[in-house]
Structure 1
């Protein structure tokens, strides 16, 4: 991991994400790319800064630059290589293009489910950023003076289609030096006997390099409640899941389940595209 993207609106929630990014950047010698989105139509922007640009556009660009300078001078960013980026596309398009252009390894976004970067995490932007992002996305809910992942829960139905996402999660588990807890949630409407579930998990990981993990079956009324309750029971530091598709854990990002888990889970959530 060498490049971390942090979308920012300069809110406290975005700063919480940036503080986590700063810790990871120092630990793993990463650059941080700070991306601010201006909701100004592209046709109103003169990229050369000529006088033909609208006064409103010039004002907001100067304001963003001033906020960048204030942010970069904060002590927690000392000795980190920071890249300032301003984009005038829609939020999800700006993030996608930046990830592609800069070859970003991880996106870290801040949210408390109420304000801040909430627009990145619900509705159409959820499906376009979190659910479909080719780059892993880490959602931070609160300030973490010390971001340390000792216990990492990866929830899935452990079908073959989830293996590419799991391998990405495994890479980050090793990076964080975290113990991985595999989790399959049983619900009244989607129930699998324990023996079958354990057999599926064992088969799922047999061709990976994973050797030290726990395999867990948890019964609850809904999948998202099962994930949150299990994570609470073991004191998990991070919840991971795969996104995209229609089966298994993939459907978390269709409708209310995604909003409940990403916005309501107290723990950081990390997503990996299949």
Structure 2
């Protein structure tokens, strides 16, 4: 791990994300790219070109000053931090910056959400998770002992989960993590018998790893929803973090179908790492 991106909006939770990134940067000798996206109002955007340029420069300077002050944190001592300010608040740009700088990880803070606000508005973190092509670490609390010794990786073991699984295995191997694979069986249309579950996982591992060495390590969990199954298992197993694959849906498709991975990221108290399906 060489480069970590942290989107910063000066909130308490982005402070948690920055501190988490600092812990990882010190542990793995990585650099931090602190990214602030300057939101420019529609009023400014409708002005003439000269006025727009002048006001954009003014707000950029204010943002840079506040950004510089925000980055004066004791926990960043000894860490190489590069501040980046973007003109517009477009969350796909976080992924663009990650690709441009060949970053390994995005770290974001989130307060979580629930109810209608979550459905209709979502959060900045959810938007980044949907667009990101690299892993996204979502943290909810001030880090005290950020660890990835034991990570629960939840999967449906479908064909399009192979890439997230391989990326997760690669990342957590570098971090020295013990990766716990779990399959959540739920009632209703998605219910599978024991033999069906084992066959699904066996086919998956054969395709992903080329062998069945990990088959005996997979935990089969029954619960009312995938989210509850993942969170309950993570709690009883003493996990340090949860890893999930996300489909990256956007727009109306996301509104209709939702995302289990985003629900987990919203409601888990543990850090959650998302890996996007191709």
TM-score by length of 1: 0.83
Aligned to 2:130: 131
Aligned to 1:271: 274
Change (3 A) 1:17 1:54: same
Aligned to 2:75: 76
- The 8 Å contact of residues 111 and 140 in structure 1, kept in 2 or not, is answered as yes
| TM-fit CA distance, 1:260 | 3.1
Report the Cα distance in structure 2 between the residues aligned to 1:35 and 1:127, rounded to whole angstroms: 17
Report the Cα distance in structure 2 between the residues aligned to 1:127 and 1:20, rounded to whole angstroms: 18
| TM-fit CA distance, 1:256 | 6.5
Report the Cα distance in structure 2 between the residues aligned to 1:126 and 1:26, rounded to whole angstroms: 24
Report the Cα distance in structure 2 between the residues aligned to 1:166 and 1:181, rounded to whole angstroms: 12
Moved more, 262-271 or 67-76: 67-76
Change (3 A) 1:215 1:256: closer
Aligned to 2:17: 17
Q: Deviations over 1:11-54 (max 9, x none)?
A: 11001111111111111111111000111169969xxxx99734
Q: Quick check: 1:194 aligned with 2:197?
A: no
Q: CA RMSD in A?
A: 3.2
Matches within 5 A, 1:144-163: 144-163=143-162
Count the aligned residue pairs: 261
Aligned to 2:209: 208
| TM-fit CA distance, 1:161 | 1.8
Aligned to 1:106: 105
- The 8 Å contact of residues 156 and 242 in structure 1, kept in 2 or not, is answered as yes
Aligned to 1:234: 237
Report the Cα distance in structure 2 between the residues aligned to 1:128 and 1:253, rounded to whole angstroms: 16
Structure 2 gaps, min length 5:
none
| TM-fit CA distance, 1:209 | 8.6
Q: Deviations over 1:214-244 (max 9, x none)?
A: 3111111111111111111101111111122
Change (3 A) 1:2 1:102: same
Aligned to 1:148, the other structure's residue is in SS state: coil
Report the Cα distance in structure 1 between the residues aligned to 2:169 and 2:262, rounded to whole angstroms: 25
Q: Deviations over 1:149-189 (max 9, x none)?
A: 12111111112221111011001211221111111111111
Report the Cα distance in structure 2 between the residues aligned to 1:153 and 1:129, rounded to whole angstroms: 22
Aligned to 1:60: 59
- The 8 Å contact of residues 198 and 215 in structure 1, kept in 2 or not, is answered as no
Change (3 A) 1:209 1:78: farther
- The 8 Å contact of residues 246 and 259 in structure 2, kept in 1 or not, is answered as no
- The 8 Å contact of residues 246 and 262 in structure 2, kept in 1 or not, is answered as no
| TM-fit CA distance, 1:61 | 2.2
